[in-house]
Structure 1
Amino acid sequence: MVIPTTAYTRRQLTVYFLKLGTFGFGGPPALVSAMYRDLVQDRRWIDEADYREGVALAQLAPGPLAAQLAIYLGYVHYGVLGATFVGVAFVLPSFLMVLALGWAYVRFGGLPWMQAMFYGVGAAVIGLIAIGTYKLTTKTVAKDGLSWGLFIVSAVVTVVMESELLWLVIGSGILYWFVKASPYRLPGRTGNVWAPVLTQLLAIPTDSVLWKLAIFFTKAGVFVFGSGLAIVPFLYGGVVKEYGWLTEQQFLDAVAVAMITPGPVVITVAFIGYLVAGFWGAVVAALATFLPCYLLTVLPAPYFKKYGKHPGIKAFVDGVTIAAVGAIAGAVVVLARRQLVDLPAVGIALVTILLLYRFKKLPELGVIAAAAIIGILLRQAL
């Protein structure tokens, strides 16, 4: 085990991510911002360079952004064991909540109150992630024309395409590298860090529903890039259109469950798995989605740690990070267009922004709870 250079233990880090997984609302933009605020700025457990490397790796590798960043931060000082503890702690709370909601959904034939609650929570979440993204942007984007240019291009493209583009992220890293550091100073061969993951599982022919779930959700974990929200179109095409496991309403309810529960948005896969095949369906769907994410973070991590401080690599990572933050800012706009459908929703989002900007220590969970109550009351009144 690597001895950390800062005053925190593996247990303290695990407890932090257990709390973040339990109370962290807002999806990838809010969770990524919270990690920066808590671990880099406030506690100073993680330094700026390690955080940037984590964002870059999470952006370049397939899988959910927030979960991969959490796993990498666990790896920074405590290696594979730290990454494992953090990954489980971050995902487990929301998995258990989604499992309970899945049982209630099946038991009572749907959750009509869910949409009403999501109306208020979703609007407040837009305000929450807008503030978080603002803070993340001001701290990570350098004050020069190239940095802001890459940030704006990434944000605009994300808004227009409604998804994060891997080639744009990589291109930003390469351009920043060429401008900020000599390409001849890069280290040579770094080895094959993108090892194939779970290919044997993908090739297994079987008619078992659980194996079909495992194969489908492994593909989702391996081939979908960007934030957890990027997985939603892939899931829709599979579980609704291709396999017909869920109706469109059930799928929308599954996405709503992911948004009103804390932790990574990708946990919607557990709700889908539960509706298809009960408890074991939820377990298989979650494991198949998150295991590739874990492996594709831990396997390249030593190379990022070894070469990340090199000027050329650092410039590339900085460029990728700027594009990633731009994509997060664009995602806020995309989410706002979908969620803020009327004036009351816009009002909830604006009030949330003003409160969080004015009162720095205002508990986010209290804001979310108040928004949920307001949403239910507004829907009953309409």
Structure 2
Amino acid sequence: MNTPSLTRIFLAFIRLGLTAFGGPAMVPYIRSMAVERKQWLDESSFSLGMSLTQLLPGATAMQMAAYVGLRARGGAGALAAYVGFGLPAFLLMLGLTVLYFSARSVTAVNAAFTGLQLVIVALILNAAVNFARRYLNSKADMALACLAGVWLGLKGNPIVAMAVVCALAVVLLRDPRTGLPEPQEATGRGPLRFALMLLAALVLFLAALYVIDPELFRLGLLMVKIDCFAFGGGYVSVPLMLHEVVEVRGWLTGPMFMDGIALGQVTPGPIVMTGAFVGYAVSGLIGALVAAVTVFSPSLIVLCAAIPFADKLVSSPVARRVLKGSLISLVGLMAAVAVRFGLSIHWTIPQAVFALAAFIALRKKVDILWVVLAGAGIGALAF
């Protein structure tokens, strides 16, 4: 296997990050680059990474980028890949967020975001359908998903719903078909030491925020909590963030939060980058930076800490059941979010027709980016 420089890792993942639309859909491109073209790691090692990242919190594509960097050059390589892959998304999200908050009073901009909100309802509903078809394999799965959805619909804490469903899954499920391949290899304890260093740095960063600005500390701590519970990929962050940001703290209104998700869909990278939008709304540029750092740090720390135990973790029946429980709860939570977003819109017949058309387009596998851009354009002209 080749041993790349940190600069090569960083630049390779920046290139991927510039076109990282579709979240987990980027994983095959990461594999093609790291395994086939550059030969930084072999197929068995990449397969182990795929197994492991499905069991851990965080956005799957971001986690796989960090995993490749870690295998290629240790902890520093993981950091180079992680930052490189996420930086384009952060910079583009930041630019669009600044424009959004400076132009919200423009009529055409408001109309465009009305169209985008319709697309977001279709997008979340489509995600819920996709997850349901993939992960709900029995009546017990469906019942647990409904339990999570009803709980969020009653404005309950989604973390509680996830915890309860995961606990029930460990007891009730016997054959969680998550599609995880069998483990291939393990590694030394270097990643664990690097994880402890990152954890210490994160604690010091939060402590400094607490001294400098308690509001920034609360923002950072919230993003840490959201990332720690984002099992099943970045979409899990949507119901968690909705509950905490809109309902508990009132930092954003429901429609503004939908606008943030819309901006996240026209930029590359994981949907959890919406955290930068939230951070900017709370404390401007520094808030966006704090949110971006803290909403991605915990999952990187967990990944590095878990790698020495990857073989045991991936083969653990309990871990697989917990993962299946988190994915089941995600189905219910996403369905509840779609309903909540839908209720926040003052529907007209043209808007309903357009939302249905957007949903059908997404079911037909039309690229999300084109659907979102169409929503903005049609919204500006028609709504």
Query: TM-score, normalised to structure 1's length?
Result: 0.67
- Superposed CA RMSD in Å reads 4.4
Correspondence for 1:152: 146
Q: Which of 228, 235, 238 is the aligned partner of 2:237?
A: 228
Q: Which of 259, 264, 269 is the aligned partner of 2:262?
A: 259
Matched, 1:300 2:300: no
Correspondence for 1:348: 354
Q: Which of 45, 61, 72 is the aligned partner of 1:70?
A: 61
Question: Can you list the C-alpha shifts for 1:180-209, whole angstroms capped at 9, x where unaligned?
Answer: 59xxxxxxxxxxx9976633444448764x
Question: Structure 2: 5+ residue runs without aligned partners?
Answer: 4-8, 36-42, 177-191, 231-235
Residue pairs, 1:75-94, within 5 angstroms: 75-76=66-67, 78-79=69-70, 80=75, 83-85=78-80, 87-94=82-89
Shift of 1:106: 6.6
**Across the two proteins, how many residue pairs are aligned to each other?**
332
Distance 2:69 2:296 in 1: 20
The answer to whether the 8 Å contact 2:210/2:216 transfers is no
Distance 1:126 1:110, change over 3 A: same
The answer to whether the 8 Å contact 2:62/2:270 transfers is no
User: Which letter maps to 1:352?
Assistant: A
Distance 1:280 1:11, change over 3 A: closer
Distance 1:252 1:127 in 2: 15
Query: TM-score, normalised to structure 2's length?
Result: 0.66
Correspondence for 1:121: 116
Distance 1:148 1:308 in 2: 25
Question: Can you list the C-alpha shifts for 1:315-349, whole angstroms capped at 9, x where unaligned?
Answer: 33333333333433333333333347443332222
Shift of 1:131: 2.9
Question: Structure 1: 5+ residue runs without aligned partners?
Answer: 4-8, 25-30, 59-64, 182-192, 242-247
Q: Secondary structure in 2 aligned to 1:223? A: helix
Shift of 1:170: 2.7
Correspondence for 2:219: 217
Distance 1:139 1:228, change over 3 A: closer
Correspondence for 1:373: 377
Shift of 1:123: 1.2
Shift of 1:375: 0.9
Correspondence for 1:6: none
Distance 2:123 2:104 in 1: 32
Shift of 1:167: 1.9
Distance 2:47 2:153 in 1: 27
Correspondence for 2:19: 19
Question: Quick one: percent identity of the two aligned structures?
Answer: 22
Matched, 1:170 2:166: yes
Distance 1:37 1:331 in 2: 29
Q: Secondary structure in 2 aligned to 1:19? A: coil
User: Which letter maps to 2:128?
Assistant: T
Distance 1:258 1:18, change over 3 A: same
